[in-house]
Amino acid sequence: EAGAAQSPRYKIIEKRQSVAFWCNPISGHATLYWYQQILGQGPKLLIQFQNNGVVDDSQLPKDRFSAERLKGVDSTLKIQPAKLEDSAVYLCASSLLASGSDTQYFGPGTRLTVL
Amino acid sequence: GQNIDQPTEMTATEGAIVQINCTYQTSGFNGLFWYQQHAGEAPTFLSYNVLDGLEEKGRFSSFLSRSKGYSYLLLKELQMKDSASYLCAVPNQAGTALIFGKGTTLSVSS
């Protein structure tokens, strides 16, 4: 099954600039996840939505990162202002249920480079 | 806390068999996932084990021992296209999302 759709695929910005990423999950998937994957590491959860409500944002650096999922479908993740250490791939995933035991389907990710 | 360990890199030749190990520590167990991730691409689901034993799916098999906190992914008849990172993951303590290991980069040569 194809995964979530994401855009843009690549983004290069300078530190202190802002950036936004977009995700469209698989139709009918109530749960949406944003992960950060730094080179050589596994994905790390940033935020999880169930419909348009936040389930877990404990690892989201809220001083600079924000995310929303209006209407319970598409989601945007924003970074403002960006730091060098934010350079990573930002992956969006979705699942039918809000359970860690449910298979997650990932999008191709947005590769962010902060200069 | 929760922790997942897997080797960083492995190499193998075409046609061979390779076993990628994963050990985990978790409070409460809700299954273990294996994902495959080619360079620059999305992680894709390979397997999910919740009971002990071996589950076979074509050239790929996954094994789980809950008492030992151990799993492995077995890849048979290796092909060049199997060169990828293999991610081991378990649900978090709340049981709502996944915690991933750092991934094992497998390089298959001819």
Q: What is the pLDDT of residues A62-95, one digit of tens each?
A: 999 999 998 889 999 999 999 999 999 999 999 9
Residues 6+ positions from A22 with CB-CB distance below 8 Å: A6, A7, A74, A75, A76
b/e code A41-71 from CB counts within 10 Å (16+ = b): ebbbbbbbbbeeeebbbeebeeeebbbebee
Name the closest residue on chain B to residue A2, using Cα atoms: B44
Q: How confident is the model at residue B95 (pLDDT cuts 50, 70, 90)?
A: confident
Chain A residues interacting with chain B (CB cutoff of 8 angstroms): 3, 33, 40-45, 48, 55-56, 91, 98-101, 103-109, 111
Of A42, A55, A109, Cβ closest to residue B100: A42
Q: Write the pLDDT tens digit of every residue in A28-75.
A: 999 999 999 999 999 999 999 999 899 999 999 999 999 999 888 999
C-alpha–C-alpha distance, residues B99 and A54, integer Å: 18
State yes or no: pLDDT of B69 exceeds 80. yes
Chain A within 8 Å of B33 (Cβ-Cβ)? yes
pLDDT computed for residue A100 by the predictor: 78
Chain A within 8 Å of B87 (Cβ-Cβ)? yes
